[in-house]
Amino acid sequence: MAGSTFGTLFRLTTWGESHGPAVGCVVDGCPPGIPLTERDIQEDLDRRRPGQSRLTTQRKEEDAVEILSGLFEGVTAGTPISLMVRNADARSKDYSEMKDLYRPSHADYTYQAKYGVRDYRGGGRASYREAVGRVAGGAVARRLLAERGGIEIAAYVLQVSDIRGEVDPAAVTRETVDANIVRCPDPVAAEQMIAAIEQARKDGDSLGGIVEVVARNVPPGLGEPVFDKLTADFARALMSLPAARGFEVGSGFASVLMRGSTHNDPFRMREGRVRTETNFSGGIQGGISNGEDILLRVAFKPTATIMREQQTVTTSGEEVTFRAKGRHDPCVLPRAVAGVEAMVALVLADHLLRQNTLNF
């Protein structure tokens, strides 16, 4: 598939299907000498894997990563890094009754229309299982960012349905995010979110929400105007995630209710460098990072697979009613956190390398 590669200098290609033998990725363009171990990658994969809590699909996958190439004596070799995770708990029989119909709001009909053939087992490439490669590649990018720039990335669930947490992005850590199974740093809102997701599961339904992500210590100057603005690349990266339906940076859509006199971020000199007093820009101005925290949000739709009767049509055009089978997330948000962090890391790693070419 032509759309399976992302990035310019730091490039990620993902491969594999939900019910195939394995899924994984190839990272190309990572500089040599970056310390990297399977544990670095596994920590991120464990946050994405299924079966990690009662809120997620109960598919049992260890998602144990294997590094096939690109490392020598514990550091990156500058050559392509190939990462693989074997599928162990695929139950293709759960989808046998759906091979001749199009599930509502899935990619069944559109993949058939595009390619003339589709992998009906769990959604094939359209499944969130594809994100294993994104998260594995993002873990490599995260190591590069930490090693070369001290850049930190933290994503968390900000909202589930109409329940929104009160979160200070500057204070969020991975520990506060992972302190509960819904991955919301606001413990009060988290309990309400958990109850809402569990009720949706009991009802055979699903919920959507918002993941917010902050990137700290990003140097000023990252971004390539005009078509490769940092904002544009973040939007492309994050909107490519399964179930993503909206993107915001900084004040986002709330800025339409503000005036320029309020929304503008005044400059000040602090600690010997240019800083902004506020951060409605979300750390990006003119498509280029300004050195402040980068703040982004991604809206995710309710999971398309629900355990209720739905109307659809078969591949032969017959109108039918069906009820889905299989193991599915009633809300994608808790596992989507890892995918959001990965895509932000990939964009920043790519732009950090691109910026370095200007100073060669």
- Encode pLDDT of 80-124 as tens digits: 999 999 998 666 566 677 788 999 999 999 999 999 988 888 778
Please give the span between the terminal C-alpha atoms of the chain, in angstroms, as a whole number. Answer: 34
Average pLDDT, the chain: 93
CATH number, position 158: 3.60.150.10
- CA dist 205 and 110 (Å) reads 23
- CA dist 69 and 80 (Å) reads 7
Unique residue bearing structure tokens 């732009």: 351
Unique residue bearing structure tokens 């514990």: 74
Counting residues of the chain whose pLDDT is more than 70, the rounded percentage is: 95
Radius of gyration over every alpha carbon of the chain, rounded to an integer in angstroms? 21
Give me the domain span that covers residue 77: 2-358
Overall pTM surpassing 0.85 (yes/no): yes
Instruction: Provide the number of structural domains found in the chain.
Output: 1
> Quick check: 343 pLDDT over 60?
yes
- CA dist 72 and 350 (Å) reads 22
- CA dist 28 and 259 (Å) reads 44
Helices (H), 8-118: 38-48, 108-115
3 CB neighbour count, 10 Å cutoff: 7
Unique residue bearing structure tokens 């200007």: 358
pLDDT tens digits for range 113-139: 999 988 888 778 888 899 999 999 999
